[in-house]
Structure 1
Amino acid sequence: MNNSRFIVVEGLEGAGKTCAIKQVITTLRSYGITDVVVTREPGGTPLAEKLRKIIIDSAEDDVITEYTELLLLYAARVQLVESVIKPALKRGYWVVSDRHDLSSQAYQGGGRGINKKLLKTIRDAVLGNFYPDFTIYLDLPPTKSRDRVLMRGSKIDRIEAESLLFFQRTRARYQELVADNPSIVTIDAKQPLEQCSAAIHDHIVQWLSSNSQ
């Protein structure tokens, strides 16, 4: 279990990614894996955090186009991958991230309707053959996602303020992308927290066991 790995947690807003990451880390520690770096997208470096602020904040005097948003996201992603994730993996650390490229494929590809071929071209150009080793997708209906976001009582950001139809398209693309990918597991995020955590624990244990043989 000394080989480093890159684990990603994905899902709509309110799906429980923060709690899921905590469960992933707890499970890893139970296997003696304590050298873990936790990060997020967009963000994770000083520059990427500045790009995050641009992406999620509304600017009434200068509307962000879908292609500007896409390129900003990839700029932040490449900065994080090259400055944090790859160096950590090289040092033998495990990396757990709140979102990665699957988010762009779902949000910008599904939600924004950006051409799949263009997304793949950009992804391949800037990330090459770099992929997560394991991804947990927390599946949540958009109506439930919206309810959970509103229950937080915090300011709604530019992405969270999108229409229900936008999130329906995003979820549909998520489901399409994860369907035939053996490195991604789907968790029903409508379940109570305890059941979600137990399911995440079981999937991580199964994955660790299969990779230790």
Structure 2
Amino acid sequence: MPEILLTGFQPYGGRQINPSAEVVRTLEGTRIDGCTVRGLLLPVSFAAAKQPLTDAITKHRPLLVVSTGLWPGEPVIRLERVAVNRASFEMPDNDGQRPLDDAVEADGPIARAVTLPVGKIIASLRERGIPARISDTAGTFLCNTTLYRALGACERLEASARCGFVHLPYLPRQVAELLNDLSAEGRLELHQRADLASMSLDMMLEALRTILLVSLDHG
């Protein structure tokens, strides 16, 4: 049976929840247009995240590879359009490692473009009342690294799998916790925080189902 590989990340940076993990756990095993969703939670580790991702793509040969991750402060669903061959972490990963201006792949190209129908997806999301935008930078943390690696794995297999990345906002309960922490700390005024946007899990799930469906239908 044809499969979709949907990846997310474990919590990181002192957070107890990662919305990408919640999305993957919920959609694991569901069916989208005759395809089964296979979920994969990746460790927040530059070293340890590589092999599980590559192995899953190699073993299962999915029709579609969509990775998800958190972008704190993002108020909308955000579809990435490119990954760069650069790992430069502003904070350490969960292994305590902090690459600074390193290559993701020593001999890899400067950048790789996603193969999802990004424009069509954005239009479909907005038609459903889901706020969404296109982004030309996935940062230089593990989200970008994962997208770059996934695109490379598909290329090396000469697979026809379409591949892309979706950044998600905080869940509302995460922002509620941030507001509690902000009030308790008493160090910053509320307007000084720029990372308080959120989106319900139900809307994120509807967005991902739409992204997968439109991507399978493309071309």
- TM above 0.5, one fold? no
Instruction: Pick 1 or 2: higher relative contact order, CA cutoff 8 A, min separation 6.
Output: 1
Given the two structures, how large is their TM-score scaled by the length of structure 1?
Answer: 0.43
